[in-house]
């Protein structure tokens, strides 16, 4: 492009992502999470041994974006599907990618028991506190007071229960070796999230057990906010219910640089 200054690409397209346009809304966290997963697989060089299980949720079409083998799971059952795959191919890398409705409502039993069995699976958990795909219904993770189409006056603990913290529940299981909560709403947080994903992947490669990375992720569409406000809402409000950080870590790994 230039003859005078040598420019080097420092940020580009990860191989583990197909070059298809995504269907995600402007400002949605799903596509960031996709990229982070893809970058980690690239860096570990395991794209070609990866088998992924997307959710039923906004990321149902993730197989159009991820550039590795993928199989659809019925809503909520990604962990069970992943278990089946991993038991057939213990030497392959298996990950699930799931929303909060998928992983923490209809899939609660599958999630808890995959964790409890210590399945060698890495779970990427997109917590956007709402049902995205179906149009903004309350999620188990919807925070108190937050509006949803099925919680018209905002979530009320008496009527709708309190937001669920499934990562903390998973931490109770012996088979879960690592659980961390990150957010996708700043350069720093995104980089942290990537490190967490990397660590989770290592847990599987090192045959330690089950691990989960929960990513607080904006859904501007259903929160009815411009992307920028949605990002700010996570940083200012959502983290009060879901504090960021390591929830469980018995990996024995030294802290990554």
Ligand X SMILES: Cc1ncc(C[n+]2csc(CCOP(=O)(O)OP(=O)(O)O)c2C)c(N)n1
Question: Could you list the residues that contact ligand X (CB under 6 A)?
Answer: 55-59, 75, 99-102, 126, 128, 130-134, 139
Read off the tokens for 210: 């089950």
- DSSP SS3 for 138: coil
148 is a site residue for its own copies (CB under 8 A): no
- x/- letters, 74..113, toward ligand SF4 (CB under 6 A): ----------------------------------------
118 near its own copies, judged by CB under 8 A? yes
Please, which residue, 9 or 207, has the CB nearer to another protein?
9
| Subset of residues 29 to 68 that bind another protein, contact rule: CB under 8 A | 29-32, 35, 47-51, 53, 56, 58, 60-61, 63-64, 66-68
Give the nearest distance from C-beta 37 to another protein in angstroms.
Answer: 12
| Candidate residues 171, 183, 221, 223; the one interacting with another protein per rule CB under 8 A | 221
Helix axes 187-205, 30-44, angle to 10 degrees: 50
DSSP 240: H
| 3-state SS, one letter per residue, for 195-223 | HHHHHHHHHHHCCCCEEEEEEECCCHHHH
CB 30 within 8 A of CB 193: no
Residue 8 binding target from ligand SF4, ligand X, another protein, none, CB below 5 to 8 Å by type: another protein
Q: Which helix (H) or strand (E) holds 110?
A: helix 108-117
């Amino acid at each position: 492009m230039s003859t005078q200054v040598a420019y080097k690409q420092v940020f580009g397209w990860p191989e583990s992502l197909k070059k298809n346009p995504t269907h995600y809304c402007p400002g949605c966290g799903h596509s960031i999470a996709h990229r982070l997963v893809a970058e980690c697989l690239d860096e570990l060089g395991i794209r070609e041994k990866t088998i992924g299980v997307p959710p039923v949720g906004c990321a149902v079409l993730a197989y159009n974006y991820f550039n590795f083998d993928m199989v659809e799971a019925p809503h909520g059952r990604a962990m069970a599907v992943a278990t089946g795959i991993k038991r057939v191919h213990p030497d392959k890398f298996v990950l699930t990618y799931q929303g909060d409705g998928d992983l923490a409502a209809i899939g609660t039993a599958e999630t808890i028991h995959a964790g409890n069995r210590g399945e060698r699976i890495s779970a990427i958990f997109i917590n956007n506190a709402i049902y995205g795909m179906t149009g903004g219904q309350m999620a188990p993770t919807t925070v108190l007071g937050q509006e949803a189409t099925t919680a018209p006056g905002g979530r009320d603990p008496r009527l709708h229960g309190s937001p669920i913290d499934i990562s903390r529940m998973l931490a109770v299981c012996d088979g879960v070796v690592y659980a961390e909560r990150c957010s996708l709403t700043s350069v720093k947080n995104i980089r942290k999230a990537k490190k967490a994903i990397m660590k989770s992947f290592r847990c599987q490669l090192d045959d330690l057990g089950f691990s989960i990375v929960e990513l607080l992720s904006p859904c501007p569409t259903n929160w009815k906010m411009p992307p920028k406000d949605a990002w700010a809402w996570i940083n200012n409000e959502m983290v009060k219910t879901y504090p960021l950080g390591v929830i469980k870590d018995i990996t024995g790994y030294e802290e990554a640089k």
